[in-house]
Chains A and B, each alone.
Chain A
Amino acid sequence: MGLMVEAKQARPDGVTGVRPSPTLWKLDLSAALWWGLPALIVATLFGLWEAWVRLANVAEWLLPPPSAIFEELGSSRGLLWTHTLVTLQEVLIGFSLALGAGIILAVGIAFSRVVQRSLYPFVIASQTIPIIAIAPLLLIWVGYGTTPKVIVVALISFFPIVVNMVDGLKSVDADMVNMMRTFGASRWQVFTKLQVPSSLPYLFTGVKIGVAVSVIGAVIGEWVGASEGLGYLMTRSIPQFQTERVFAALFILSAMGISLFLLAAVIERLALPWHHTNKVRRVMGES
């Protein structure tokens, strides 16, 4: 029976890997390997890249070696930092808007059939229209400042938040709703004490996807027209064949995406300790 309840909570998440429990005697080695594994892979790839560029004598403007990119990261750090802050600001503002609007929209969709029928098609349609086609229009409508970038970020990242949150609010266990009703629970109490908490794991899945794509949104926004930001820096560097600077900006962007994702994962872990415990138990086959 406990198994059934838990199976209902299972979701196609798979984001957080669970570390296989190592036997005691090789704990230290495997722990080091576990955390060092991604670093090891990245280092290997960089090594191969570096070797290829040097051995094949690839021109630096065509494909700069990692060493040149890291050198650029160091020597142009002031410039890169300025543009990073601009992009980060667009991402954070845009994502916050997406989060707020996404949650409100999801609650509306989950609770009102009218809202669902009238708004959900637009939510889906908003994702079928290529953002890259809307971005130039935004320039015409709202000008060159931060606003069009923020809008692109919000447009691109609100979708996974809405869809996941709607699923979360709707997938609540009907038996649990009845259990609460037998205690005389009002609809509002069922919402706040049952639906909201049980939808939070879904919301966090949406947040983790949304935060990762929000960086892409900011770059698209900057590409079509901007005077600052990492996307702008890339478009300016390409015609000048400053390829190492383009790569430096790419590295920073992916580091930004990864950091934001990890931040979301850490907040999830702290906010939903029960969820993590359950997940581990499920994977480990205890119930």
Chain B
Amino acid sequence: MAVTDATSVKLRLQGLYKSFTVDGREVPVLDGVDLYAAEGEFVSVIGPSGCGKTTLLNCVAGLDEPNAGAIELKGSTTERRLGAVGYMPQKDLLLPWRSVLDNAIIGLELMGQPRAEARRRALSLMETFGLAGFEGQYPSALSGGMRQRAAFLRTLLADQEVVLLDEPFGALDALTRSQMQEWLLGLWGDLGKTIVLITHDVEEAVLLSDRVYVLTARPARVKLVVDVDLPRPRHYRMVTDEAFVHLKATLLASLREEGTWG
């Protein structure tokens, strides 16, 4: 799976360095992170708690700028990244005064699409996202899983080629989480998106990804890259397969060496 063809690489990070100044002291968070994701690839990033995974995504999304290193998006390092990368943060961040439908279209609305057309597009996807019948409800009436799917719909409707997911299932209970993972597995095949997922769940990373990056404890560097060559379509049953368990053990061992308790 070593895709390096320059044209098909949608996202490439080279020597990404980022530090914050705390009490006048420079604290490095990212210390030379290299990573790439080719067209249609699903890539996961795992690392110990607090290692700077969210900072990494914030840089890629354009919310933050790295101090050094290059971010190449769709073959260009100059493109303005805000508004050009899909980003789903940890929290669903649904606006409490907007209905589920109007929350889903906010991205399109901000990008200048007429509301009526945006609503039509969103309505056609409500079924796929398990939100049919809840279009007019306020987010406060939804369960955690539904809120997360609504946030996911909001991200995907904006229709970016590269989508970043920051522990999207982290706050859900175990059952809902595995259901969401299966749902995402089924959905992703049809999407043709390039996805970078941040997670602390090794099983989730192996199940969903083509490639997994393990980061060191802060400051974060890429410690290990593992290609997941399990067949697709994947299914939740695979988590007990020998190959799966082996991959999972390799990743866990690597992660455990970092040994910090978040």
Contacts and interface: CB of A to CB of B under 8 A. Distances in A.
**Is B truly associated with A?**
yes
A206 to B, nearest CB: 18
A182 B83 contact: yes
**Taking each of B61, B91, B98, B111, which has the highest tally of chain A beta carbons within 10 Å of its own beta carbon?**
B91
A185 B93 CA distance: 15
Interface residues of A, number: 30
A180 B109 CA distance: 10
Nearest to A182: B87
Contacts of B111: 183-184
Interface in A231-287: 272-275, 277-278, 281
Q: Give the secondary structure class of B's interface.
A: loop
Interface in A190-234: 193-194, 197-198, 200
A278 B96 contact: yes
| Interface footprint category on B | 20 to 34
Interface stretch (A2-10, A58-66, A69-77, A90-98): A2-10
A189 interface: yes
A180 B107 CA distance: 7
**Taking each of B93, B98, B140, B158, which has the highest tally of chain A beta carbons within 10 Å of its own beta carbon?**
B140
B168 to A, nearest CB: 11
**Taking each of A181, A184, A197, A200, which has the highest tally of chain B beta carbons within 10 Å of its own beta carbon?**
A184
B187 interface: no
A155 B144 CA distance: 46
A179 interface: yes
A175 to B, nearest CB: 6
B115 to A, nearest CB: 12
Given A175-B89, A176-B93, A185 B140 contact: no
Given A277-B140, A281-B140, A197 B62 contact: no
Contacts of B62: 181-182
A173 interface: yes
A274 B107 CA distance: 21
Contact of A275 (B90, B97, B106): B97
Given A183-B111, A274-B140, A278-B140, A5 B83 contact: no
A259 B138 CA distance: 30
Contacts of B63: 178, 181-182
Contacts of A197: 95, 97
6 contacts: A182-B86, A183-B110, A183-B111, A184-B84, A197-B97, A275-B96
Interface of A: 1-2, 4-6, 9, 173, 175-176, 178-185, 189, 193-194, 197-198, 200, 272-275, 277-278, 281
